[in-house]
Copies of this chain bind each other. A is one copy, B any other.
């Protein structure tokens, strides 16, 4: 389980430290790829395995072909240096518009990496916003169950 938000700096070489709390839950075979809303997503092995339902074949619809290409094409295995950092490739930094600072967010089963501005828009919420969205999702689920 990944919890919490951390603000880390990205140096000139594209390196970011992954918070120690997260790192100790990430065995080899961990993968980083593109995610929705312009973030990067880090998948522990068992989560990545679930995404592999997405396959190319003669039966695959066009949209899934497109998703599969983007998702797997952008993916890389995470390699940590002695200080617990990974290197974000130039592509990945461009996709997520990350320059000097990255927000690293634990979202239950995945880890997401955001740039400064986007995270402020998506992740930070006033109490009013938070309450509204919580009620919205609850309402939606209630409607769905009945």
> Across the interface, which residues of B come within 8 angstroms of A71, CB to CB?
58, 134
Q: Which residue of B lies closest to A2 (CB)?
A: B72
Oligomeric state, in number of copies?
Answer: 2
Whether A4 pairs with B89 at a CB distance below 8 angstroms is: yes
Are B5 and A36 in contact, CB atoms less than 8 angstroms apart? Answer: no
Q: Are the CB atoms of B57 and A3 closer together than 8 Å?
A: no
Closest to A138 in B: B67
Bound Cα distance A133, B73 (Å):
15
Chain A 37-67 per-residue mask, 1 if CB under 8 angstroms from chain B, else 0: 1100100000100111011111000111111
> Would you call B63 and A137 a contact (CB within 8 A)?
yes
Partner of A123, one of B1, B73, B136: B73
Which chain B residues lie closer than 8 Å to A123 at the CB level? 69-70, 73
A74 at the interface (CB under 8 A from B): yes
Complex Cα gap A6–B41 (Å): 20
Roughly how many angstroms separate A112 CA and B69 CA in the complex, as a whole number? Answer: 9
Which of B3, B36, B58, B107 is in CB contact (< 8 Å) with A134? B36
Taken together as a complex, chains A and B put the C-alpha atoms of A12 and B34 apart, in Å, by: 35
If the complex has contacts A58-B54, A131-B36, are A69 and B4 also in contact, measured as CB distance less than 8 A?
A: no
A110 interface residue (CB < 8 Å to B): yes
8 contacts between A and B (CB under 8 A): A36-B130, A36-B131, A37-B131, A56-B110, A66-B122, A69-B122, A70-B123, A73-B105
